[in-house]
Homo-oligomer: A and B are copies of this chain.
Amino acid sequence: MGALSKKIEVVLAMDIGGTYTKIGLVEKDGTIRGKRVFSTGSKHSFPGFVLNLEEEVALLCAKMKDKIKIVAIGIGAPNANCFTGQMEHPPNFKWGDVVPISETISSLYKLPVVIANDANAAAVGELVYGMAKDMKHFVVLTLGTGLGSGIVVDGKLVTGANGMAGELGHVSVDPEGRKCNCGLKGCLETYASVTGIKRTVFELLAELNEESTLRSISYESLTGEIISEQALKGDVIALKAFEITGKLLGSKLADTVAHLDPEAFILSGGLSKAGDILLGPVVRNLEKNLFAAYRGKVKVYLSPTESSDAILGPAALVWQERK
């Protein structure tokens, strides 16, 4: 013991979001040895982000420098390509078309980096530390500003031929539907995400005459939490918005089942915090649209993982490779 005691091996995990970046030190068994959150500054420069990141990592490690050994870095980031290590055309960032995130951070710390898009990392997080520990075939959906997804087949993340598998946010609900940031129309994420349900609320406010607290809130001020709260209080517009969102999401997920025959879907992200108000219509409409052979076999869960523990996904990317 004492001077001879071995250092604790950890992964430096980073979850880079459009608004916040979360960093943390995670042991192989998922124990979190400290975490921090800071503003990503996605509308500013990439070098500015890297400077902030360095400071935050220094603060994170300051107290336990002598006790830990960082074995590698795990990164989850929007539109990150696991093959190239780059963020490719991230629509909500002003860091350039192609951001060499993996290379930059690897040479900064002289450590190996494993990277995946944020939703793919979340899927591996559920597989290694979360509710999918005993599953081999499942799909994670992150319902936040957009809709991200990660697909696991035979206990392994599906990366695809170009490292870009699992973009369920961009399956088509209606080719003549809502304009999507990606340039297409009617993509699933324009309906089934926090932004999507906001759009649905505003459509309903225009269409219906029902009284609603939501009539006093601007588009910019409206959040997913407000819609959830009002739905729980019985607001007709909010409830109908969840019903429509759940219906579209559930019926599209039936197509995903016809591809993959998964045992479960795991919903995470802001919109999933609404609980049964969302889950009810999703499950009902999924079942209704399933091909006979799948009926009654696919489960839909809400992930209990807290948003502040989003670093578990990127950490799992590394630890899964070192099993």
Binding site for B on A (CB under 8 A): 79, 88-89, 136-137, 151, 153-154, 156, 158-168, 170-172, 175, 182-184, 187, 251, 254-256, 258-263, 289, 291-294, 297
Contacts and interface: CB of A to CB of B under 8 A. Distances in A.
A188 to B, nearest CB: 9
Given A153-B153, A255-B172, A89 B292 contact: yes
Contact of A171 (B163, B166, B258): B258
A251 B292 contact: no
Nearest to A289: B172
B255 A255 contact: yes
The dominant DSSP class at the A interface is loop
Given A172-B251, A175-B251, A251-B175, A160 B260 contact: yes
A165 B138 CA distance: 12
A98 to B, nearest CB: 11
The 10 closest A-B pairs by CB, nearest first: A160-B261, A161-B263, A165-B261, A170-B291, A171-B255, A137-B161, A167-B258, A164-B261, A164-B293, A171-B258
Nearest to A183: B292
23 contacts: A79-B293, A88-B293, A89-B292, A151-B260, A153-B158, A154-B156, A154-B158, A161-B263, A162-B297, A164-B294, A165-B260, A166-B259, A167-B258, A167-B291, A168-B258, A170-B291, A171-B254, A171-B258, A172-B289, A182-B292, A184-B289, A256-B259, A259-B259
Contacts of A163: 261
B182 A291 contact: yes
Tell me the number of copies of this protein: 2
Nearest to A137: B161
A195 to B, nearest CB: 17
A297 B162 CA distance: 8
A262 B160 contact: yes
Most buried by B among A158, A291, A294: A291
A82 to B, nearest CB: 11
A153 to B, nearest CB: 6
B262 A89 contact: no
A250 to B, nearest CB: 11
A261 B153 contact: no
